[in-house]
Every structure is written in C-alpha cells, then in structure tokens.
Amino acid sequence: MNTPDAAAERGTEEPGIDFIYRGWHFRYGAQRTGPGVYRPVVVCLGRGHGAEEKETLPNDTDEIAYATEAEALRHAEQQAMRWVHDRTGDGQGQL
C-alpha cells in the first residue's frame, strides 16, 4: 500500500510549496530521508505563474541533511532565491 507516511519514509514525496521570486516560479519541499533527517528539494517551474518546465535544482551545499522539516524548508526557499540571483547577476547581497 502506498500511503503518504510510506512515501515519507522512502523520501519520495513531491515538493508541494509554491514560491514565486522575481518572476520565477518554484515548488519546494522537504523529503524525509530517515528518522529526524530531512533533505530540501527545489523544482524550478520556469518564469511566470503558469510555467511548468520542471527542473530540479541540484544541491547547493554539502549540508543536505537537516534535523527538522522547518530547517530543510527554510534552506529550500533560500536555495531558490540564490538560484535566481546567480542567473540574473543580482548577487546574493539582497537575501
């Protein structure tokens, strides 16, 4: 049986929080990879609200395991913002 809890145990749930930053649309979440271990996941859906390109952002740090879901979610949002800054030449000073 494939329940949400079983998916969380395997770390296969889809990211589900929508986030638009400077015209870029992202969906992010935190995959549970073990007991008390979460990994941030960010998918770029493209520019604009209706975009659906789907590019999973690569890990941006060696620290991809967080003790709480909230920490992983915070990192995922910041990762999306850095990704935009890296591609628009705005630098990271505005985070």
Using DSSP bridges, classify how beta strands 55-56 and 24-34 pair: parallel, antiparallel or unpaired. Answer: unpaired
- Mean pLDDT value across the chain: 81
- What pLDDT is recorded for position 7? 41
pLDDT digits (tens, 9 = 90+) for 42-80: 999 998 666 677 899 998 887 789 999 999 999 999 999
**Distance (Å, whole) CA 74 – CA 68:** 10
Kindly tell me if the per-residue pLDDT of 32 is higher than 80. yes
Which distant-in-sequence residues (6+ apart) come within 8 Å of 80 by Cβ? 19, 21, 24, 26, 28, 42, 44, 57
Provide the pLDDT confidence category of residue 90 given band limits of 50, 70 and 90: low
